[in-house]
A and B are shown apart, each in its own frame.
Chain A
Amino acid sequence: MKSIIFDSLIFAYIFMVAFIYAYLGPFVVRGDEDQWVGLLPMIGLSLILFLILGAGLNLLLKRGRLYTLGALLFEAEHIKANRIPTPLTKNFWFYQLMIAFVFTIAVGWDATEIKLYELFGYEGLFGADGQGGALGIFLSLVNPNWQILPQGILAIIETIYIAFMATIFAIPAAFFLSFFAAKNIMAGNSVLFGIYLFIRTVLNVTRSIEPLIWAIIFAVWVGIGPFSGMLALMLHSIASLTKQYSEIIECVNEGPIEGIQATGANFIQTIWYAVVPQIILPYVSFTIYRWDINVRMATIIGLVGGGGIGTLLMMYQGQALWREVGCLAFLIVIAVWAMDTASAYIREAIK
């Protein structure tokens, strides 16, 4: 069943792309959007048509014993075992994959609006009058204005502390939630499993919303500044750490638990002596890593008013003061490199 659905989708995709290109010409994606909106109902209808067509084609191919991509991925093991190995180029799925790949490259080329003449043209790189342009910015960046160094250092320290506070506040919340997000602990009955599913869903949604968006929301809530940046990072850290912590709990070895239980220890003693020693070091390791990630994210969040060096960077960039931006970029590189190295060493040492 999975194999049929998968193949139908692939076929429908190939038909669809072929249809749109044949009907609207090769550079359709670059065309104006009104043209698109007008066509949407028709495209939707034809998509359904193509899906049905794809499914039909797929069944025909199955009857013809051709080895499709869906079959390659989802076929049951015992059927797969009976397949006679054949060279790559004699398999249907190889051509199916190649066509889908070529079509995707073609659409992707259009969608990203790749313009080689701009990339290798004179004007963009050197500017219209031979001054400025991308090269000019680059030269300013590598020739920083060191006079704003003290201001920059203060800002980067602020960034590191934003990241630190976000991590620290996230730890207890994530520690508590992680037990409810661990499948092996919550699989007991349907109520627990319901809580597990609920928490997992909320966490996934929270994580999938970028901290940048959270920062904008919190900036409206508590005002622009480091506090809103910290709150955004904290929320993201809680979601990420809970997921990582709970995965550690899911990997706990049951043996020591049985061993400690068999001595007549009570529930708390069993958790303390059999579970905690197994999870504590991975917890610390993930937490340090999260702080490291948060420093990098805090920089980005500063761009939307989350405080720290990002805000400063945004300010100078807005005024096109590229030599000042160069100084800040240098500081960011140093801070990120230092955090990255330190956290890698610490994590290695406690492994």
Chain B
Amino acid sequence: MKAKVYVTLKEGVLDPQGSAVMGALKSMRFSEVSDVRIGKFMELELDADSKESEERRVTDMCEKLLANTVIENYRIEFE
């Protein structure tokens, strides 16, 4: 089983990397871009069968290590 974890900055938290990338896109004349937020994407290979119990464990992983919930949100997908 594979878990995909998306970690994104919470709303209102400044993202200087996103701002720099947006500046670059604008200078490349992609003028329709009004905001860029940069996050992290992680793929976890899991030796497990039950999505239900793994959901709890991957949530635990996110809370403890993969995200810093002071500034970040996370989202988990299984496949």
Chain B binds chain A: no
Q: Which residues of B contact A (CB under 8 A)?
A: none
Spell out A's residues near B (CB within 8 Å).
none
